Chains A and B, each alone.
Chain A
C-alpha cells in the first residue's frame, strides 16, 4: 500500500536559517504529492503540491520537487521566520485512491528569533 516517511522532529532553527524537511514515499504509479501545514489549534492548510515527476511546487518561499527516481518530495525554505513555526505534513494521493490522502508522521518546526 501507499506510505509516506518524514524525517523525525522536532526541528528547531534560528530565524533566517535554511530549512529542509525530508519526505520519501512508497506508492504504485504516479501519485500526487503534497505538503500541508498545521498551526496550533487549527486544521491543515495546503502549502504546496506537485502532480507529476520533476514538478516543483512552491508557495510562501517554500519549495519541493517531485523526484520519481528517489521517491522523494523534500520541503525547503531559504530563510525561515518565527511565523513558520508549525507542524508540517507530507502527504500523497494515489492514482486510484480518489481524494484519500496518506500522511507522514509530521515534523514540528520551531523557529526562534
Chain B
C-alpha cells in the first residue's frame, strides 16, 4: 500500500507570496492532519480534517488554512508568507478521526520543505 505523499517536496517563496501544499493520504484513510516543524518551535499541530470538515485546529494565525476534498486529499495554504514560515510541513493520515477515547495511528509523509526569502 502506498504511503502518504506530499507535493512538492521543496519550495522556495518570497515574503508576501502565498503557497499551497498538497497531501494524499494512504488509501482508505479519511483523516488528515498537518504539522509544522521548525528548529526553534519543534513539531506543532496545525489542523486536522475528517470527512471534508476541520475537526481540530492548533494555535496558528488565520494566514494558515486548509481543506479536504471528497477523496480525502488535503491541501494547506499559507497566505502573506513571512520569513518565520520557513519550515518542514508534515502531513499525516489516519483511518478515522478519534472520538471518545478512540485513537487511530497516524502515518506521516516525507514533508514539504518551505523556504521563505
Of B90, B98, B106, B111, the residue contacting A46 (CB under 8 A) is B106
Of A43, A97, A100, the residue contacting B111 (CB under 8 A) is A43
CB pair A100–B110 under 8 Å, yes or no, is no
CB pair B105–A46 under 8 Å, yes or no, is yes
Interface band, chain B: 20 to 34
A32 CA / B103 CA spacing, docked (Å): 7
A53 within 8 A of B: no
Of B31, B56, B97, B108, the residue contacting A43 (CB under 8 A) is B108
CB pair A98–B56 under 8 Å, yes or no, is yes
Indicate with 1 or 0, residue by residue over A85-111, a CB within 8 angstroms of chain B CB atoms: 000010001011111111111100000
In A55-112, the 8 Å CB interface with B consists of 89, 93, 95-106
A95 CA / B99 CA spacing, docked (Å): 8
A101 CA / B56 CA spacing, docked (Å): 11
Minimum distance in angstroms from B104 CB to a CB of chain A: 6
Minimum distance in angstroms from B56 CB to a CB of chain A: 5
Of B101, B104, B109, the residue contacting A95 (CB under 8 A) is B101
Of B44, B55, B111, the residue contacting A98 (CB under 8 A) is B55
Minimum distance in angstroms from A6 CB to a CB of chain B: 10
A51 within 8 A of B: yes
Give A contacts to B, CB under 8 Å: 30, 32, 36, 41-46, 49, 51, 89, 93, 95-106
What would be 27 A-B contacts, judged by CB atoms less than 8 Å apart?
Answer: A30-B101, A32-B103, A41-B110, A42-B110, A43-B90, A43-B109, A46-B106, A46-B107, A93-B103, A95-B100, A96-B101, A99-B31, A99-B33, A99-B92, A99-B98, A99-B104, A100-B45, A100-B48, A100-B56, A100-B58, A101-B33, A101-B43, A101-B45, A103-B42, A103-B43, A105-B42, A106-B43
Give B contacts to A, CB under 8 Å: 4, 31, 33, 35, 42-45, 48, 50, 55-56, 58, 90, 92, 94, 97-101, 103-111
